[in-house]
Structure 1
């Protein structure tokens, strides 16, 4: 399996963590895609792939799709040669590129055609026909910049709230955060949900789960308790309860299975204080 990632152009870095992909001449088991605060837009140029989740069963997502993992995990089921490139959007950043709201996209997988119409379908076809990785990256970056110019939003208060809830998830309080950005709690919760597709509290919980599991898997450990406590879980029982809600099984069972396979988490490219802020 050949894995790779590309740091996007500077103009995209406040919104896109990386472009990344996997390639293999043979079908191989793919690790599950787990809930998080960002989003993936995947373009598959290998053989056919299916998407399986508890909520939607097994579906054919086409060549370009958003997996829709906000409320539960999903699996990619490769039917042969694997080849895909994916855009990993930062927390809440998909809204700057999508004509649809994140509420509309939160609960289900969606094809690029459903979201971007003919432009999404045409891009998927061009990605499939591209001769190499460099051309695919260039096509994606040009298209993303065009989407950003059309759909980008100037929302510094929401951007500040996203970063606080993600990087300071252990200590931040919703009332204090709303006051910090100059909004009432009720208005903050309404605007945040409209833009991000989750309430601030749900976003904070998802960030805590995501970062705990990410740190555990990147460390190559099956002992999760230290990471869970470091990210603000009260005790082991608290983390197990949250984990089952997000994944549908206990962390022990999941991590035992994960020890023998790869995962989709990556070390950060930027430290939290160096992540570019949208202009």
Structure 2
């Protein structure tokens, strides 16, 4: 069931290493990516958590993480081991003491609610300990991953566990799934009125059902899709200017792009930071 593995290496306030791998084909559409990471900076680290159209599952093997500012809020959060972060429409700040290791799993909202046995609107803008959702099974998963001999074994373990959980879950409402897919296919630019017309629901009914199953309404999700696409364009180096990025991603102009980045990421595109693409090489961790 496995895929190819690659290691991404770089330095960040000391050093970090990252291993990435696509999930097994059976998880296509439910799980976007696996990212294994080890950070040993030698000093405290504080990072900005940016919005994305995915549900984030973090499984930690190292020190606990501190949520210094909850996503999309000015409020401080708690201290977490493994956790799940719902969809959010603003930046957060997460910190640790300088040594951290674990896995990040990016889940599609179409499957995350069923995989985690939770209504996603209950997670919106929140960060929840994994054991609060899965009980002892959440802790056992993190422990098994930490004990695995290498990253390929960890990814294979995730493939097995997530595939088993997915096999016994309910499918998303077809109309909600269709709306989600259309939002992504159009890069987040589809109008909600057109979306409602396409699936045969009223705008009000679409917004309510979509929010209950996904965590945010279709308009807000479209905003996250545009933002994520803009970040990808900036990181890939394929855009000649910020105006090019704005027009390609459905913003009115450069000023509109700038306002959205300040609202969603806490700073302009030039500061939100998109490091140059790292070199990927085949490796075993």
TM-score range with shorter-chain normalisation?
Answer: 0.7 to 0.9
1:106 is the counterpart of 2:124:
yes
1:9 is the counterpart of 2:24:
yes
In the alignment, the residues of structure 1 paired with residue 132 and residue 276 of structure 2 have an alpha-carbon distance, to the nearest angstrom, of 30
- State the number of aligned residues: 260
2:135 equivalent in structure 1: 117
C-alpha distance 26-250 of structure 1, shift in aligned 2 (>3 A)? closer
Conserved in 2, the CA contact under 8 Å of 1:41 and 1:88? yes
TM-score, normalised on structure 2? 0.80
Root-mean-square deviation over aligned CA pairs? 2.7
Task: Give CA deviations for 1:6-53 in whole Å, capped at 9, x if unaligned.
Answer: 121111112111111222444474653310111211111133432332
In the alignment, the residues of structure 2 paired with residue 223 and residue 83 of structure 1 have an alpha-carbon distance, to the nearest angstrom, of 36
2:13 equivalent in structure 1: none
- Which structure 2 residues correspond to residues 188-267 of structure 1 after superposition, within 5 A? 188-219=206-237, 223-252=241-270, 254-255=271-272, 258=273
**Unmatched segments (≥5 aa) in structure 2:** 1-15, 281-285
Aligned-partner SS, 1:57: coil
In the alignment, the residues of structure 1 paired with residue 98 and residue 22 of structure 2 have an alpha-carbon distance, to the nearest angstrom, of 28
2:9 equivalent in structure 1: none
2:80 equivalent in structure 1: 61
In the alignment, the residues of structure 2 paired with residue 43 and residue 222 of structure 1 have an alpha-carbon distance, to the nearest angstrom, of 37
C-alpha distance 12-30 of structure 1, shift in aligned 2 (>3 A)? farther
Conserved in 2, the CA contact under 8 Å of 1:2 and 1:23? yes
Conserved in 1, the CA contact under 8 Å of 2:64 and 2:80? no
**Unmatched segments (≥5 aa) in structure 1:** 267-279
- Which structure 2 residues correspond to residues 13-24 of structure 1 after superposition, within 5 A? 13-24=28-39
> Is 213-222 or 110-119 further displaced after alignment?
213-222
2:150 equivalent in structure 1: 132
1:77 equivalent in structure 2: 95
Aligned-partner SS, 2:116: coil
1:45 is the counterpart of 2:61:
yes
Task: Give CA deviations for 1:247-274 in whole Å, capped at 9, x if unaligned.
Answer: 223334x24xx26x5799x9xxxxxxxx
Residue 209 of structure 1: how far off its partner (Å): 1.4
C-alpha distance 58-102 of structure 1, shift in aligned 2 (>3 A)? closer
Conserved in 1, the CA contact under 8 Å of 2:59 and 2:104? yes
C-alpha distance 236-101 of structure 1, shift in aligned 2 (>3 A)? same
Aligned-partner SS, 1:141: helix
In the alignment, the residues of structure 1 paired with residue 25 and residue 122 of structure 2 have an alpha-carbon distance, to the nearest angstrom, of 29
- Which of 200, 220, 233 is the matching residue for 1:182? 200
In the alignment, the residues of structure 2 paired with residue 46 and residue 215 of structure 1 have an alpha-carbon distance, to the nearest angstrom, of 33
In the alignment, the residues of structure 2 paired with residue 243 and residue 211 of structure 1 have an alpha-carbon distance, to the nearest angstrom, of 12
Residue 95 of structure 1: how far off its partner (Å): 2.1
Conserved in 2, the CA contact under 8 Å of 1:31 and 1:262? no
Conserved in 1, the CA contact under 8 Å of 2:85 and 2:123? no
Residue 106 of structure 1: how far off its partner (Å): 1.0
Residue 131 of structure 1: how far off its partner (Å): 2.8
- Which of 105, 120, 142 is the matching residue for 1:87? 105
